[in-house]
Copies of this chain bind each other. A is one copy, B any other.
């Protein structure tokens, strides 16, 4: 029995998210179908975490066990022949038997892109959140590091009792290693790296930072919201899925 690590890139626009769902196109389900076609094996690849409908990945990681003898380079070619162009397998590696895409993950990096220009080019529309309204971006840049460190992020998690987080464990404490906002041409980009993220956590952080940019909240408010451990203390909206991309998973 082999254990394989599969690194995938996908445009999430036309998927119901990572997780397999009945009668809706998911990335996990599409990958499982392709795997079955090339190996005959029915196996559900385990992702490093779920991504929601419309969320993209530059390098999502999945693991699966297989009896197939196909060399890794051939698996890449065979999967990409079958998968739609919106999902690409970037690499496949043989890994140790105890490797698990979710449980072995040490850190993840997400990026959230906000397009600030008046008119969003159609070629970017699927990959950004178009927000051309006034924002004090310097305030957002300054407040970004407020959330760095080990915290209970309940105030930034989806209220979602069936699915408290994306990592499958039962507490809401996570460590953010870095959090920063940067201007890049017409885009305002948030990049956050941490040891794990709760459901909707990045989009809720972005929603709260947008209120900092609008002047509704300041950095002290973010600290207060964090300490409240209560989503209803956080007035920020969940930022739209299209702007979010899972950039990398570190092991």
Contact = CB atoms under 8 A, between A and B. Distances in A.
Interface of A: 9-11, 56, 58, 76, 80, 85-90, 119-123, 125-127, 130
A73 to B, nearest CB: 10
Contact of A122 (B9, B121, B123, B125): B9
Given A11-B123, A88-B121, 5 more contacts: A9-B122, A10-B122, A80-B119, A85-B130, A90-B119
A125 B80 contact: no
Contacts of A125: 11, 85-86
A130 to B, nearest CB: 8
A130 B86 CA distance: 13
A52 to B, nearest CB: 17
Number of this chain's copies in the complex = 2
A81 to B, nearest CB: 12
A89, A90, A122, A125, most chain B CB atoms within 10 A? A122
A122 B85 CA distance: 6
16 contacts: A9-B121, A9-B123, A10-B122, A11-B122, A11-B123, A11-B125, A56-B122, A58-B121, A80-B119, A85-B125, A85-B126, A85-B130, A86-B122, A86-B125, A88-B119, A88-B122
Q: Across the A-B interface, give the 7 residue pairs with the lowest CB-CB distance, nearest first.
A: A85-B125, A11-B122, A86-B122, A88-B119, A88-B122, A10-B122, A9-B122
Nearest to A83: B122
A10, A58, A119, A127, most chain B CB atoms within 10 A? A119
A85 B123 CA distance: 9
Contacts of A127: 123
Contacts of A88: 119-122
A123 B247 CA distance: 13
A120 B90 contact: no
A10 B10 CA distance: 22
